[in-house]
């Protein structure tokens, strides 16, 4: 992860995001997995998010994404899940009827983890010793 900046901010923000297919159906394989990966990569590029790593498993997706402070991790997940579901169901219409009748592709649950180059302990120690530094 590299340091980014804009006119008023300097940041290094990365998120590990995991989301699953509804009912944990193992449908993300072969062409569906390729379509999922491509959709997520295109969405991240279109929104200006850095897709550092991605792994599409049969029933879930792992993403490592970097974004500006204005972008909430929940917004990233919501956008990626929404756009990828529409594209996958458009490319593979039988999938919707077979496993996901009347519902979306993704489970509403999502895991978010922050990724950084320094540990929690380092941040705590830095904050606790601020008065000693002045």
Q: Which residues are catalytic?
A: 126
At a CB cut-off of 8 Å and minimum separation 6, what does 91 contact? 31, 35
Residue with tokens 């990828």, as numbered in its chain = 84
Q: How many residues does the chain have?
A: 134
Tell me if 31 sits within 8 A of 105, measured CB to CB. Answer: no
Whose tokens are 């490592």? That residue is: 64
What is the SS3 assignment for 66?
strand
* Strands of the sheet with 60-66, listed across from one edge: 50-56, 60-66, 14-21, 106-115
Tokens of 64: 């490592």
């Amino acid at each position: 992860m590299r340091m980014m900046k804009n006119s008023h901010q300097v940041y290094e923000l990365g998120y590990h995001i995991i989301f699953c297919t509804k009912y944990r159906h193992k449908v993300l394989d072969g062409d569906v997995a390729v379509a999922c990966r491509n959709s997520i990569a295109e969405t991240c590029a279109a929104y200006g998010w850095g897709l550092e790593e991605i792994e599409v498993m049969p029933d879930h997706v792992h993403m490592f994404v970097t974004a500006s402070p204005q972008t909430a991790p929940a917004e990233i997940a919501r956008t990626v899940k929404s756009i990828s579901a529409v594209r996958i169901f458009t490319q593979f219409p039988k999938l919707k009827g077979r496993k996901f009748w009347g519902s979306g592709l993704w489970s509403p649950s999502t895991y978010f983890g922050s990724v950084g180059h320094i540990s929690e302990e380092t941040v705590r120690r830095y904050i606790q010793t601020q008065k000693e530094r002045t």
